[in-house]
């Protein structure tokens, strides 16, 4: 593989830590879309039709170092293609969106310092950016998979979906996967997914979502043009997407700062632990606690999720 290096700009570099991001990215041993090794982050993407292994090696000043290696993929390419300008631009956007490199944490940190629930978290997790999912279809599927089950089982189901229906390639002693294409999932029957322990509802919703994308009735381009309320209403019109799911998607894919998955069990557990409550907070307590988060809601939620990890 002939590698090429790019430097991706980091906004607010004083409040960015690649190491802090790696901790969150490494939270599950069932993760099979990216790989962390010796302090580097690797992921396979398709950029301008070219399969590319990207390796993020760390930051230098106000930029992130990213190596790009085109790979031969039997199902997609017969030979290793050369990187195009469009491919490099796509990878730059992808990494920026994935690690929220164009964001700024100072406003949230200032707010958190005055909030009893959030106070101390910026110092503990300084530089942690809201880790996103740059692909809309992947975000939709992950959200549907994670509904009303624990995170461990959600990762198990996701791993099965990727392994069975996505492309994979072995490189440097590790198998790298691509998330399944919408066309592949759209052609499945619910019975196939049920045989992999997906509930009937999840199976139907995954297939219906894939079909909407394949048919062009729902697209990344359309969602990207909408404001928060418009995007939320459009998501709620999809089968299987409720308030929690819509806000999770708007947080992880859309990066709307006001997105608040209020019904999230992990958020409830984090609040309970931080406030040393005897029971999970009630709906009324949650509204009171989160009611003033406003444009800090997404980052407040994300940093509270971070408190649930052991490190």
Q: Which of 12, 110, 224, 264 is catalytic?
A: 264
Strand partners, 127: none
CA–CA–CA angle 48, 50, 54 (5° rounding): 100
Cα dihedral sign, 250-251-252-253:
positive
Q: Is 29 a catalytic residue?
A: no
| Positions marked active-site | 264
């Amino acid at each position: 593989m002939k590698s090429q290096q790019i430097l991706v700009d980091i906004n607010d570099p004083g409040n960015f830590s690649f190491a802090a991001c790696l901790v969150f990215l490494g939270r599950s041993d069932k993760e099979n879309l990216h790989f962390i090794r010796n302090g580097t982050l690797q992921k396979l993407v398709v950029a301008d039709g070219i399969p590319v292994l990207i390796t993020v090696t760390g930051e230098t000043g106000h930029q992130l170092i990213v190596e790009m290696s085109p790979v031969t993929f039997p199902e997609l390419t017969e030979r290793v293609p050369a990187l195009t300008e469009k491919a490099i631009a796509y990878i730059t956007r992808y990494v920026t969106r994935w690690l929220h490199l164009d964001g700024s944490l100072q406003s949230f940190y200032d707010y958190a310092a005055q909030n009893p629930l959030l106070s101390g978290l910026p110092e503990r997790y300084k530089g942690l950016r809201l880790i996103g999912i740059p692909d809309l279809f992947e975000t939709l599927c992950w959200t549907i998979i994670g509904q009303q089950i624990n995170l461990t089982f959600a990762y198990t189901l996701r791993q099965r979906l990727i392994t069975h229906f996505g492309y994979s390639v072995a490189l440097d002693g590790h198998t790298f996967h691509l998330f399944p294409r919408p066309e592949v999932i759209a052609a499945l029957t619910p019975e196939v997914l049920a045989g992999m322990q997906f509930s009937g509802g999840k199976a139907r919703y995954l297939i219906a979502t894939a079909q909407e994308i394949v048919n062009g009735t729902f697209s990344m381009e359309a969602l990207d043009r909408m404001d928060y309320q418009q995007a939320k209403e459009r998501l709620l019109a999809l089968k299987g997407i409720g308030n929690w799911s819509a806000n999770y998607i708007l947080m992880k894919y859309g990066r709307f700062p006001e997105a608040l998955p209020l019904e999230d069990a992990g958020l409830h557990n984090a609040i309970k632990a931080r406030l040393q409550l005897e029971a999970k907070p009630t709906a009324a307590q949650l509204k009171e606690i989160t009611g003033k988060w406003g444009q800090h809601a997404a980052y407040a939620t994300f940093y509270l999720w971070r408190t649930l990890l052991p490190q």
